[in-house]
Structure 1
Amino acid sequence: MTTRKTPTPELTLDPADWDSFRRLAHQMVDDMVEHLRTLHDQPAWQPMSGDVRHHLREPLPREGQGAEATYREFLEYVLPYSNGNRHPRFFGWVQGNGTPLGMMADMLAAGMNPHMAGFDQAPALVESQVLAWLTRLVGFPDSASGLLVLGGTMANVLGLAVARHARAGFDVREHGLQREGPRLVVYASTETHGWATKSVELLGLGRRSLRLIPVDAAFRMDLGALRQAIRADRREGLHPLCVIGTAGTVNTGATDDLPGLAALCQEEGLWFHIDGAFGALAAMSDALRPVVQGLEQADSLAFDLHKWMYQPFDVACVLVRDAAVHRAAFASSASYLATLERGVISGGLPFADRGIDLTRGFRALKVWMALKAHGVGLLAGLIEQNVEQARYLAERVSAHPELEFLAPVPLNIVCFRFKREGRDGDALNRVNQELLLRLQESGLAVPSSTVLGGRFALRCCFVNHRTRFEDIDALVEAVVRTGRRIVEEG
């Protein structure tokens, strides 16, 4: 007889005292709810002290200190020092802010901890339902295919990977790109997000295969220049593959002429992919849907749900019009993953066949709960509110003699700067850069920046359900006050 050798007592990561852990868990929930409730009274951002940096560079723990002591360290050294994106006066970049319900949904999802490749389980049905809802929201056909992924970059990469498979003219999965043949070419505007460069590198196309097309005065892709570039590449013996349109550019919030791009792609036989990272969900609003008209004509579409659906990081979506093409770009088989007629795996692994991940978390739960609990109407109203807030800031900038626009405001991004008579060029750029840093370091507000036509801009993006119009007033007053002070200091 074999004698079993096990530690005494046997090891586990479950609590030895469940009642004690329950009290700690309730305290965690209470603390986070209170933290979210009082966000407006907290700084939008604060620098970390040397003590915090030192503490978070400690040696690898060899012995555990217990959950309660570790949680106390989280409260002291971690919670107060995020980048501030959940704060009402965080206007930087295009970052989501999360919701209390989303926080709890992530807790529930982690508690269930299902493997989301597929399987015969309710969480897989939840994700399928969420994808069906999103498909209808953006006007894609019910037969379209989709997948929830980490973020907009991954969603866009997958969309471009499907384009490569569908339009390369040869079997990319079999032969790869290490073959004789014409170079594949992708077209995007100069305002397209940096994911496009990363994608052509990652997918083996190379940066030389990415054509950046100029934009017009409204920062929209120039269709005439695009057509000329495609025809020039064909004359050179190259193989045009895909056009990337944008619904809501990261710099100014511009949306390309999506119907025009769709028609051009149809005429030229190119794949039409849309990066709708935050702009696509303007389609939830009857009032704003015309701004992003043409989404429904894309071959593939990527968009984030942790931006204009306000969900906690991370969750994004890629949709592909042709489900068979989507599956053909990624599906594979292995004996240990074979589908059986009954049992746990009888549901198959459909999500594993739509991307590169096998193991995936239950991201769909927070989206499902948000749509069920809040409804599309409330979420659309919040998007409209954000756009109205951007317009309000634009009105404040337009009315103030010491502020000026640097770009149109087509949706929810405002680019402006502090100005002073007699100062321009590099001098004014330096004033506004210092102004931005002082605003952030003060903890009052967090705009970000960009450079438009050589001019340094304060850039405010409205994707925050917590922002109030009084926060915009406070921002404008702080910009003018701080700008004046910097000029006076010389």
Structure 2
Amino acid sequence: MLDDILDFSQDIRQRPVWQPTPPGVAQARAASLPEAPSELADVHQQFLTEILPYTCLNAHPAFMGWVQGGGTAVGMVADMLAAGLNANVGGRQQAPVELERQVCHWMRDLFGFPTTASGLFVTGTSMANLMAVLVARHQAAGPTVRQQGVPQTSGKLVAYTSSAAHGCVAQAMDLCGLGTDALRRMPVNARHQMDLAALEAQIEQDKAAGLTPFLVIGTAGSVDVGAVDELHAIARLAQAHGMWFHVDGAYGALGMLSPAIAPLLRGIEEADSIAFDFHKWGQVPYDAGFLLVRDGQAHQATFAAPAAYLRRECQGPSAGTLWPCDLGPDLSRGFRALKTWFTFKVYGSDRLGQVIAGTCELAQALAQRVRDEPRLELLAPVTLNIVCFRYRCAHPDQINAQLVLALQSSGVCLPSSTMVEGRFAIRAAIVNHRTTMADIDTLLQATLAEGDRLTMSRAAQGEQA
């Protein structure tokens, strides 16, 4: 099994990025619960023929659809070790808990947070953003919010973010009981950053209406175009109005590992909390999200729930006063820290930073190729590693939508799509450490060939009509 999956990783470039599951395979998966045992080799063979070929290969160098890291063999084998240990990292005196704390210390130093900062591995930034909103809510409403709930203690709390923020930010407001109407989505400027003048005006307007601004969420690497908000200016504004300043840095935050990218993130070190994923630019296998909180006591006060079965002792396996389960909603937790620790130990932060900078260089090269090609049009500034463009034609939204589906179905390359200022865009997110300029060339060649074919076909249909 190990040999086969290593061969798969080594030969991944020769495979299609995506292919549909044949009807027969899909029907086989609908079989009823197995009652009798099977041979391991037979089950593995079924995996090789019915599962492995029909995944969406974000590890493939030509996968540019969404912001998903490529993973590494090191992280994969480390995950196998973690599964072998089968540690529950919810707490207690054990090395896996200490290793998670070590990674937290690394991140605390990377982002310039104090020694009192706390952190926690989670599934991903969607969960980390939710937890950050809960910490900010607890700080604003006070500890009684945990007993009495939001309606009695919220004081009409309102939060602010960019209209380009990820949808999980609004979902976090929903799930924590404040509601999406309490989230103000600010317009963006020409660089797709949150409009600070509009933000300040909205805060003053809400205060005048008797509302309580309690949270502002900046974005480091927006989901559509990869924009980075002016984090330093947002930090100043949050401090002036006594608001919690959170940064959704799902993939962009780890740009701090690159001296070339870190200046774009100026102000992130002033945040009260940061959410990010090691499984994106950090190239750690899924899943490995993280929440870092400046005020560790505020973090603990939001989630700690003492119980007799979680009694702490002075010595033995139940020793220790702060367990990971005191910092989040999960008591049962996998050993996500091990694959992250292995990744940083084996490759080093400098090499990971070079990979991050390399993806941004590829994005700039793609953007320049788009500018140089008369048949293509760049639709947004390229700040980090996301390029939004389209094929020029008479019916751009319709043709480009068909074009993206054709590219995805071909298995040759896999971009995704989005809307940029009301225009349909082909979106290339370059995250994988395996991606090279040859893959950029493949994307461009396939885009131009398919765009030409679609426009010619449409013209021919028009003539027949």
Give the TM-score of the pair, scaled to structure 1: 0.92
Q: Distance in 1 between matches of 2:187 and 2:421?
A: 13
Q: Is 1:469 paired with 2:437?
A: yes
Q: Is the 8 A contact 2:141 2:154 kept in 1?
A: no
Question: In structure 2, how many angstroms separate the alpha carbons of the residues matched to 1:484 and 1:433?
Answer: 14
Structure 1 residue aligned with 2:13: 40
2:450 matches 1:482: yes
Give me the whole-angstrom Cα distance separating, in 1, the residues matched to 2:143 and 2:254. 35
Among 302, 309, 314, the alignment partner of 2:282 is: 309
> In structure 1, what residue type is equivalent to 2:279?
H
Among 101, 107, 118, which residue is 2:74 paired with? 101
The corresponding residue for 2:411 is: 443
> What secondary structure does 1:147 align onto?
strand
Alpha-carbon deviation of 1:96?
Answer: 1.9
Q: Which has the larger radius of gyration?
A: 1
Distance 1:80 1:40 in 2: 13
1:226 aligns with 2:194: no
Contact 1:247–1:254 under 8 Å retained in 2: yes
Shift of 1:98: 1.0
Match of residue 50 from structure 1 = 23
Cα 1:385–1:181 change in 2 (3 A) is: closer
**Residue type at the aligned position of 1:113:** N
| Residue-by-residue CA offset, 1:254-307 (whole Å, 9 max, x unaligned) | 000100000000000000000000000101111111011111000011000000
Deviation (angstroms), 1:448: 0.3
CA distance in 2, matches of 1:189, 1:248: 12
1:399 to 372, 375, 383: 372
**Matched residue type, 2:421:** G
Q: Cα offset for 1:178?
A: 2.8
Partner amino acid, structure 2, of 1:71: H
Work out whether 1:387 is the aligned partner of 2:365.
no
Indicate the RMSD between aligned Cα atoms, in angstroms: 1.1
CA contact (8 A) 2:141 2:155 kept: no
Deviation (angstroms), 1:170: 6.2
CA distance in 2, matches of 1:351, 1:169: 22
- Do the aligned partners of 1:262 and 1:272 also contact (CA within 8 Å) in 2? yes
Please give the alpha-carbon distance, in whole angstroms, between the structure 2 residues aligned to 1:180 and 1:330: 17
**8 A Cα contact 1:331 1:352, kept in partner:** yes
The equivalent residue for 2:400 is 432
1:346 is paired with a residue whose SS is coil
Where 2:408 maps in the other structure, the secondary structure is helix
The 2-side partners of 1:181 and 1:386 are apart by 43
Alpha-carbon distance, 1:419 to partner = 0.5
Contiguous gaps of at least 5 residues in structure 2: 459-465
Instruction: For residue 302 of structure 1, give the secondary structure of its aligned residue in structure 2.
Output: strand
The residue aligned with 1:300 is: 273
Residues 161-220 of structure 1 deviation map (CA, whole Å, 9 limit, x = unaligned): 100001125621122113276311011110000001111110000111011011101110
Equivalent in 317, 320, 325 of residue 352 of structure 1: 325
Cα distance in 1, alignment partners of residues 401 and 61 from structure 2: 22
Counterpart residue type for residue 426 of structure 2: L
For the residue of structure 1 that corresponds to 2:152, the secondary structure is coil
Whole-Å Cα distance in 2 between the matches of residues 158 and 308 of structure 1? 22
Task: Name 1:414's counterpart in structure 2.
Answer: 387
Secondary structure (helix, strand or coil) at the match of 1:356 reads coil
The equivalent residue for 1:156 is: 129
Q: Aligned letter for 1:240?
A: P
CA change 1:169–1:125 in 2 (3 A) is: closer
Q: Tell me the secondary structure at the aligned position of residue 290 of structure 2.
A: strand
Q: Which of 159, 176, 186 is the matching residue for 1:213?
A: 186
Q: Is the 2:187–2:195 Cα contact (8 Å) retained in structure 1?
A: yes
Count how many residue pairs are aligned between Structure 1 and Structure 2: 458
Aligned identity (percent) is 46
TM-score (structure 2 length as normaliser): 0.97
- Pair 1:181–1:29, CA change in 2 (3 A): closer
Per-residue deviation at 1:350? 1.5
Q: Is the 8 A contact 1:280 1:303 kept in 2?
A: yes
Q: 2:259 aligns with which of 278, 286, 289?
A: 286
Counterpart position of 1:172: 145
Runs of 4+, deviation exceeding 6 Å: none
**Amino acid paired to 1:428:** P
Residue 432 of structure 2 is aligned to residue 459 of structure 1 = no
Look up the equivalent residue of 1:435 and give its one-letter code: L
Report the equivalent of 1:7: none
Deviation at 1:348, TM superposition (A): 4.4
* Letter of the 1:225 counterpart: A
Instruction: Determine which of 87, 94, 113 is the counterpart of 1:140.
Output: 113
Aligned counterparts of 1:252 and 1:202: Cα–Cα separation in 2: 26
Are 1:114 and 2:82 matched, yes or no?
no
- Give the aligned partner of residue 15 of structure 1: none
Distance 1:196 1:448 in 2: 21
Q: C-alpha separation between the residues in 1 aligned to 2:108 and 2:15?
A: 38
| TM-fit CA distance, 1:347 | 2.9
The equivalent of 1:331 in structure 2 is 304
1:168–1:241 contact (8 Å) kept in structure 2: no
2-structure distance, mates of 1:460, 1:162: 34
Q: Does 1:68 align with 2:41?
A: yes
Answer whether contact 1:120 1:348 (CA < 8 A) is retained. no
Give the structure 2 partner of residue 342 of structure 1. Answer: 315
Task: Please tell me the residue identity of whatever aligns with 2:418.
Answer: T
Q: Deviations over 1:28-70 (max 9, x none)?
A: 0000000000011111111111111111111111222232211
Q: Tell me the distance in 1 between the aligned counterparts of 2:144 and 2:253.
A: 31
Question: Which residue is equivalent to 1:201?
Answer: 174
Write the distance in 1 (CA, Å) between the matches of 2:57 and 2:343. Answer: 22
User: Aligned to 2:253, what secondary structure does the other structure show?
Assistant: helix
